[in-house]
């Protein structure tokens, strides 16, 4: 069967994702759509140059109706965050863009899986599901996967250990109300509190570094895209290859953590060929449970102010 992906949004994240995806899994057809029509034309031509090394793929510019026989539609389109802006500041700007994408994609007859990485990702993932009417397992957001990668890197640097030995996640909103699950984290199978280097002050500094990293990258180079593009690649590859992986993603909450709101939030999630096959309610301390519920409450406040008509 033909493995087809439609990429909507060919900015820095989308372009980098396309390059990563072609190098990590087999894709028979990659269609790139963007409001700036020249960019997918140039990117398609540029990406063709890696085919002798990455394998055969039909890469071409296209439109939303090309989703009709796609396995996955990846949405990176949206106005990027500016210095000093929070991800939630982007809501009103990007909801309109989302509406203009979802309806024509659904109207095309698309019957695959949506993967969303535009910000604020938890809000836009929730709205993608509501606008599309798709089953919740077939709508996925990149959630706190990037935050978690940054946390793992900072802990590894602090302890001078390989990143692969770090087991720690950021949960909740991909934004200001996210939190690090330090109480349940480990490095080389040892709890964090067994490392003398990780004092309360050191952990606070790590939290601060993670929260500020995206803004610093934006200040220096205008956008962040390598990490999130790789997270998208991991998710889409797992779908195409039907290979179950676990990442902290924007997943549909259905009573987990005592949350009653109908929304998507960052939590460990199993993704495979069906989309989201399992939402994992990971163990949290009472303080972390409260942070998770607070994050959901803040997301609900924003969603309550969004009009989909």
CA–CA separation, 205 and 286 (whole Å): 22
- Angle (CA) 241-274-100 rounded to 5° is 100
Is there a contact between 97 and 116 (Cβ–Cβ < 8 Å)?
Answer: no
> Could you give the C-alpha distances from 303 to 58, 88, 214, 261, 283, in angstroms and in order?
39, 10, 24, 10, 27
Catalytic residue among 24, 60, 174, 261: 174
Helix axes 226-241, 12-24, angle to 10 degrees: 40
CA-only gyration radius of the chain, Å: 19
CA–CA separation, 119 and 8 (whole Å): 14
174 is catalytic: yes
Is there a contact between 32 and 48 (Cβ–Cβ < 8 Å)?
Answer: no
Closest to 139 measured CA to CA, from 112, 99, 118, 178: 112
Residues annotated as part of the active site: 174
């Amino acid at each position: 069967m033909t493995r087809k992906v439609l990429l909507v949004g060919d900015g820095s994240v989308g372009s980098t994702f396309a390059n990563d995806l072609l190098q990590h899994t087999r894709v028979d057809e990659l269609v790139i759509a963007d409001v700036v029509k020249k960019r997918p034309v140039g990117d398609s031509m540029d990406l063709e140059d890696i085919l002798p090394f990455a394998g055969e793929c039909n890469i071409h510019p296209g439109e939303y109706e090309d989703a009709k026989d796609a396995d996955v539609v990846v949405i990176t389109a949206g106005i990027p965050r500016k210095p000093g802006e929070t991800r939630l500041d982007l809501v009103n700007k990007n909801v309109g863009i989302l509406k203009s994408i979802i309806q024509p994609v659904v109207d095309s007859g698309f019957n695959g899986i949506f993967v969303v990485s535009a910000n604020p990702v938890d809000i836009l993932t929730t709205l993608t599901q509501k606008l599309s009417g798709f089953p919740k397992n077939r709508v996925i957001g990149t959630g706190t996967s990037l935050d978690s990668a940054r946390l793992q890197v900072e802990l590894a640097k602090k302890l001078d250990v390989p990143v692969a030995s770090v087991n720690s996640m950021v949960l909740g909103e991909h934004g200001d109300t996210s939190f690090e699950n330090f109480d349940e984290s480990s490095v080389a199978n040892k709890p964090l509190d067994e490392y003398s280097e990780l004092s309360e002050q050191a952990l606070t500094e790590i939290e601060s570094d993670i929260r500020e990293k995206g803004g610093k990258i934006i200040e220096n180079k205008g956008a962040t895209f390598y990490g999130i593009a790789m997270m998208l690649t991991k998710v889409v590859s797992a779908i195409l290859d039907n290979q179950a992986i676990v990442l902290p993603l924007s997943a549909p909450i259905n009573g987990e953590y005592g949350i009653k709101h109908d929304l998507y939030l960052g939590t460990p999630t199993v993704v495979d060929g069906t989309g989201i096959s399992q939402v994992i309610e990971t163990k949290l301390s009472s303080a972390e449970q409260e942070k998770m519920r607070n994050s959901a409450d803040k997301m609900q406040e924003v969603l309550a102010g969004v009009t989909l008509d």
